[in-house]
Structure 1
């Protein structure tokens, strides 16, 4: 047996000589020392082949395994069925590498499985050993078994301005499939899911979860086999004819990050956070404190005026902002979204002396300077498009379909990648730019490359290549991944960028759900969360400043408005929120995150580690009970004495709700509770209006 144990989970494979190794278990920790061989466990059944075909690490098509195959490939319609034999099983420092060969089809498949804690990373490669072209229709990054008692699937849908909409479905009788063909990740969030075991919830029970580290087309599937168990697969979804391997060529899948939790959804989320933090591109010195942003977009849109933006910088610095980001509209001819994408030179009408005076003014105020770019796009009305009309993705017989008046540059072309690198490199060399907001504002359609074949894969690889090259040339520059808000949030680009723009919708009520969905996959320090205007530009709803700031607090905090529009009171509340964020960000952005639901419509989340926690309890709708019920906090079971301090009750001024003496003591020296009491009986909560947040510190004395 091949066994890898994490702290609470086990991965068990059975080697079978020259036959591919088979899955025996992936789940809660087991002792596999006395496990009998699979051949002793599985009898041949009626209407079955005389040679058993169990689930292997790379199930083959056409040779007796009738479930979902890991590989679908052929040579002009032939060599479509595969009979793999094991070439080698090599133990690595953290896992195994299995090499399988089909001598007749002349195909090699390599399956890699690495283990870190209770998380695993899977990826695969297929190599064309033959003389002719090998057409690859599908290669799973990994195939994982799921226990027969799984009960449901938790995933997400979404659109622009409405990302991370949770979906909960029962396990399928036959199969479950999510396939993305947009060419980028999409507004539903990362390509991932959570599979719930019996009685699994936020804080307990078994949860299997996985996400694909890829920023393009993808396929996630769960299929029930005729033994009554499910198997999970993830991988890139090639377009027809996209993956054609010449002799000696190989295709490598993206990574599939998977975790099994015995501590419910929160344990699975924390496993993902650990995996993403391990991939994040922080410098050797570690992650710096996440600087408070101001972004010019919703305050100014395309209406750039150098003096007005300098005044914005002055007002922002006075509030305690640490980074000024100049958004869309700064480059030549960019007066609206119909023109100039691709022409990355400063508009001398708006900025007669270039961007240096504004950038230097920002730096002199003690802030760093950031700049918005959208390198992968081009407007037909641009100098670049007029000079190189063939540089846009296109397909014979399909019109050049625009979206936001723009086309997509073909990053499969080396000359396009070189142009983009040189243009951005010049900006970074000429100006004191510490931060790039890298946007991507449309789906890929049509997506034909220079050779007329599908260009989806080359587009993602090309974008990664430009990002990687820029990071080598300018390692101190931080990069934010934005795609119409949350359209490209995934573990693939998380290895190359330092922050995500969660959504273009900054309505605080909408953001409560979105940010909780985001935290299922990604850690809070990479979650762009800003205080927007009221009424919100995307929804028209009004929310108080205290509530808007409290909702933004747990992520990478920023401001998306012009402070000149604020009342003195709102400006003071915002300034206090910025100061609080700076005090708390070290605890908010390290350690673990727990989410939970309370009674009467309350939701809560905790950040940090047991003994030093920040708890926020959020109410969106008015209460329907006379007195607020306590909120149970199961993660505190066994924590011993816990001192609870009420840091703030973020709510609108005027007509304060009734209070009780306990909360006065919580605001002062704090109140001591036992961790088991908080876990079982719950934390008393003050009366809260609709759209309010109570923030607590929970510390062991």
Structure 2
């Protein structure tokens, strides 16, 4: 009798085998598990193989006949390195399987948990030391999943600071594919996730197996071909040497692995991920409030804080329709550049003689909420905190304390460190009307040694999570933005503790088109910090028009990162109109589904909402190479019936307008009726679009 967890369109199937660990039979599109033949009946003996068959199990063991990636690598001072697991119990519940395996010789208990909600499976594992001496854990997979033999390619992301979410498309390897991260935090390559594509898979059709690890530290992802010609997918925390040593009775728990299988192409997997992240989001009991329009002071002022000038910025921002004012780095004592004062969370009396209260109250009186930048996990050597507690920074005997951005990393394993940080931030939150923290993390962990010289990567992440939770428990209405030099800490683990991600420190709108599409592979639009930056962009030097900059930022969590005083009257008007449009449309952008797609001649598009009430954004970055604009096919609209299409905006630069046509004049008015099947097959006619322009449409059931 098979054990199956069924989602609406997917199945996970295990076969119990008596005392042997249950074997994987299937993860993929929904099947009738009762019709499967048993492994005993369907697997002939293989030559040059153990006489006892070793199929892929729920937790494949090391050293006893399974030669693929093991779920566990552990030992006792070099002994008990090979596991022979037996099934102690298989517990089934509503959408849950929990398999308990024991190795009586090695005195180890391994528990694999699998739950299904919708079409997303969540896997995690734990290992307990049942012996009377130390058990060293080198690796424990959060989950091991089977993949079909006809997988065709791997879609993943790489990147760096200011250039996150660079897509990578690779054919299936001859043997294996591995992504290791040893930075101590998620990294600028994006979330620890991967999409494994079936044959002929695209945005809208075909099979995709996708997974991401809910963890903000070191990680390992692997896809490996097994001896049967199939593939296995594994994820887990990448443990440093000696980092996980279990004393008798102690237990190690992995992070969670979120896994989705889609038969509707990449978009099906993307939508499943969005649903899973939304379920984890830490909104208060009333749910997600409308995502407030931000202004952030950083690129307008950097460290040059002037209270009167910042109040004037608040005045100008409120006049534009901004709803939240965020004061960035440079507000605390001695912070005139990035070389000093990090860790001393006291207001600089030279810049703010009466503290931050007057500025915060001025902001609130304008009808905006007040937010503040902090970087609690770091410390400058040139700070009162470092001088008082030099041992509080991560360090390893005999290894230099390597600085990055002139800062060291505080050891969050230490209760005293977490207490200090909680008290410092809590004091600010109690004394000021702070509704929002932009929480930064501006370096990798190197070296990451704790008080006794042992590796502290895992404990650092756990300590950060604990600090987030303690602050949110004390201030339930507080919203927190996760930032790490931009997109260096975007993952499903920290998504359970924070409310927004800063996608990248690069606000160049052309760069952001690619980055934001990469972000949407894993996270929903309402968590995507997307700001209108200055022109030329500070990170690239490129210039883009205000209409294009605002239109690219529109679908995410909109913000402004410039001083409106530097804008022309026309630019201020365009930005004000964009903010008003965002407020009208944000409920649609930030709920329902997201579809990504590509059109001919370099066009890219994304669609937000639900059938019957959709917003379509079509972006052109480069100039067209065609005489007439090609139509854009929209496969998700097949079967949608009659739709009224309205052209809400064509975000492009003033002057020298592109040729128009009567159809688009009608679209700007009451709209034009199209059949969904026509739009899916023949496509939506497009207006002439210059380079760096965005067309925004509403599609509603007629």
With the shorter chain as reference, the TM-score category is over 0.9
CA distance in structure 1 between the aligned counterparts of 2:140 and 2:335, rounded to whole angstroms: 43
Q: Deviations over 1:237-264 (max 9, x none)?
A: 0000100000000000000000000000
Is 1:667 matched with 2:668? Answer: yes
Report how far residue 536 of structure 1 moved.
0.2
Deviations 1:293-351 (A, max 9, x none): 00000000000000000000000000000000000000000000000000000000000
**Which residues in structure 2 correspond to 1:45-444 (within 5 Å)?**
45-444=46-445
Deviations 1:637-656 (A, max 9, x none): 00000110000000000000
| In 2: Cα distance, 1:33 partner to 1:23 partner | 14
Superposed CA offset, 1:520-569 (max 9, x none): 00000000000000000000000000000000000000000000000000
CA distance, structure 2, for counterparts of residue 532 and residue 35 of structure 1: 57
Is 2:6–2:95's contact at 8 Å kept on the other side of the alignment?
no
Residues 412-453 of structure 1: per-residue CA shift (max 9 Å, x gap): 111101100000000000000000000000000011000100
Match of 1:610 in 2: 611
- TM superposition score normalised by structure 2: 1.00
Instruction: Work out the CA distance in 2 between the residues paired with 1:101 and 1:691.
Output: 60
SS in structure 1 of the partner of residue 601 of structure 2: coil
Structure 1 vs Structure 2 CA RMSD: 0.5
Aligned counterpart, 1:487: 488
Deviation by residue 1:466-501 (Cα, 9 ceiling, x = unmatched): 001001000100000000000000000000000000
* Structure 2 match to 1:527: 528
- Counterpart-to-counterpart distance in 1, 2:632 and 2:38: 49
Structure 1 residues 260-301: Cα deviation after superposition (integer angstroms, max 9, x where no partner): 000000000000000000000011111000000000000000
Shift of 1:36: 1.3
Shift of 1:396: 1.3
2:675 and 2:627 map into 1 onto residues whose CA distance is 26
Q: Distance in 2 between matches of 1:294 and 1:176?
A: 42
Count how many residue pairs are aligned between Structure 1 and Structure 2.
701
CA distance in 1, matches of 2:166, 2:114: 31
What secondary structure is seen at the aligned counterpart in 1 of 2:179? Answer: strand
2-structure distance, mates of 1:3, 1:110: 18
User: C-alpha distance in 1, partners of 2:697/2:83?
Assistant: 59
Equivalent residue for 1:447?
Answer: 448
The equivalent of 1:23 in structure 2 is 24
Q: How far apart, CA to CA, are the structure 2 residues paired with 1:113 and 1:445?
A: 34
Offset, 1:92 = 2.2
Query: C-alpha distance in 2, partners of 1:319/1:558?
Result: 11
1:84 deviation in Å? Answer: 0.4
State the Cα distance separating 1:91 from its structure 2 match: 1.0
Matches of 2:286 and 2:406 in 1, distance apart? 42
In the TM superposition, residue 34 of structure 1 has moved relative to its aligned partner by 2.2
- Partner Cα distance (1:617, 1:375) in 2: 40
Distance 1:32 1:124 in 2: 24
Distance in 2 between residues matched to 1:518 and 1:45, nearest whole Å:
45
* Counterpart check, 1:636 vs 2:637: yes
Residue aligned with 2:600, SS: coil
For residues 159 and 572 of structure 2, the distance between their equivalents in structure 1, rounded to whole angstroms, comes to 33
Is this contact kept in 1: 2:107–2:130, CA < 8 A?
A: yes
CA distance in 2, matches of 1:364, 1:14: 64
Q: Which residue pairs with 2:692 in the alignment?
A: 691
Runs of 4+ with >3 A deviation: none
Q: Which structure 2 segments of 5+ residues have no match? A: none
Normalised by the length of structure 1, the TM-score is 1.00
